Chains A and B, each alone.
Chain A
Amino acid sequence: MSFEISKEDKKATYVILPAYNEATRIQPVIEEIACKGYNMVIVNDGSSDNTLDVIKQSKKRYPDQIHIFSLMINRGVGVATQTGFDAVFRFNPKYVVSMDSDGQHSADDLDNVIAPLVKGEAQAVIGVRPLKDMPLSRNFANAVMNFLTKMFYRVDVSDSQTGFRAITVEALREIDINARGYLISSEFIREVNDNKIPFAEVPIQTIYTPETQAKGTNVFEAFKILVQMIKHQF
């Protein structure tokens, strides 16, 4: 039987959604999370489509659960998530989650990802995508990134590039995230490990569509992350 998250804990949980050109995909994601009783900090990452308008429409329906911030220009998923992490402190959360806003992650996994934090088993959690569900190219890029994360950051995890992560607010205060792009995934793991924050891996489901596959860590992104990892060694 899965662990039941209380209403109070859900109210004290803020889900950060960085959104770049997600006008056609973000609405169901927001509404699903809102229906489950979680709060959200949505960061529009300088989208050139009407993502911001779509988010505002959702806020009209769930005014108390949604907080919107908007970057005036596109700065990447890392900066958008950092903005969310910085903003969330003003709402006094207990738990902070960040997940993709393109529908790749399921809101049904929120309870499972937060459960180890609520139970006190861990202070940080990463949602691990099953390898069998991953397209081959993504699977290869992910294996390379896991190896690089292990080599450069000395952390061995099953999915270093997951965008689904949860952390307690105390642990969030301890970590320092500076990554601009997709490096944020590896950097989050490095910071958690370096600060000796107990962390857990939780399996999550991933919904792959041609649209969600267009984003994320491809070979080009993996190369960019490698350059940044090397740079961080100095």
Chain B
Amino acid sequence: MLLYSILFPIISILAILWFFYRYLKEKQSLITVILWTILWLFVIVFSIFPTFSEKFASLFGITRGLDFIIIVVFLVLFYIIFRLYNRIDILQDEINKIVKEVSLNNEITLDDEEDE
């Protein structure tokens, strides 16, 4: 048995447990946990039975199993970047709103300086 076929399943199980822990702490939605669990289960299956990835790859017209895994990893990473970009964008808008509100409620007068 190769090292990766032991290491990857362990990492995957830890990742699944971590996602469920976050779900129990209400930091993650159920759908996110399910999607990530499916992904990590695939990692487990592909690590223990590498030939399995070839069968999946052939479903999509890809000959090598490894190519299929690399493409899936790329797609997942792009999705994560997209999600993060969106989240940052929303946060930026919220920060702008707060900063604007605080500024509008605190017009600077010369009295402020005298108070200091």
- The residues of A with any CB-CB pair to B shorter than 8 Å are 43, 46, 52, 56, 59-60, 63, 67-73, 75, 79, 82-83, 86-87, 180
Contacts and interface: CB of A to CB of B under 8 A. Distances in A.
Interface residues of B, number: 14
A180 B109 CA distance: 26
B99 A180 contact: no
Interface in B70-116: 92, 95-96, 99-100, 102-104, 106-110, 113
Interface of B: 92, 95-96, 99-100, 102-104, 106-110, 113
B107 A68 contact: yes
Contacts of B113: 56
Given A72-B99, A180-B96, A56 B104 contact: no
Contact of A71 (B92, B103, B107, B109): B103
B2 to A, nearest CB: 43
B96 A79 contact: yes
A59 B113 CA distance: 12
Given A56-B110, A59-B110, A75 B104 contact: no
Contacts of B92: 180
Nearest to A86: B104
Contacts of A59: 110
8 contacts: A60-B110, A67-B107, A70-B108, A71-B100, A72-B102, A75-B95, A83-B100, A87-B104
